[in-house]
Chains A and B, each alone.
Chain A
Amino acid sequence: MIPVPTVQLAFSAAPQYVRTARLVAVAVARRAGVSEELLDEVRLAIGEACGRAVARHRRYDISELVRVQMSDDGPYTVQVFDSCGAEVTAGDGTGAPAGDEEDADRMQEALLAAVARDLEILRHDAGTEVRMVWPVRRRLSGTGRVTRG
Chain B
Amino acid sequence: MELRLATRDIAGYTVVEVRGEVDVYTASVLRAKLVEVIDRGAGNVVADLQRVDFLDSTGLGVLVGALKRLRMRGGDMSLVCDNEKLLKIFRITALDRVFALHGSVQAATATPPAPPAG
Which residues on the A side are within 8 Å of B54 (C-beta)? 43-44, 47
Which segment, of B8-16, B18-26, B38-46, B103-111, faces chain A? B18-26
Docked complex Cα distance between A141 and B58 (Å): 40
Q: Mark B77-95, 1 if CB is under 8 A from A, else 0.
A: 0000000010001001111
Which residues on the A side are within 8 Å of B31 (C-beta)? 100
Question: Nearest CB to that of B65 among chain A residues?
Answer: A100
Docked complex Cα distance between A55 and B23 (Å): 13
- Evaluate contact between A115 and B92: CB separation under 8 angstroms: yes
Label chain B's interface by main secondary structure. helix
- Evaluate contact between B61 and A18: CB separation under 8 angstroms: no
Q: Which of A19, A100, A111 has the most B CB atoms < 10 Å from its CB?
A: A100
Docked complex Cα distance between A104 and B93 (Å): 10
- Evaluate contact between A47 and B23: CB separation under 8 angstroms: yes
Residues of B that sit less than 8 Å from A by CB = 21, 23-25, 31, 54, 56-58, 60-62, 64-65, 85, 89, 92-95
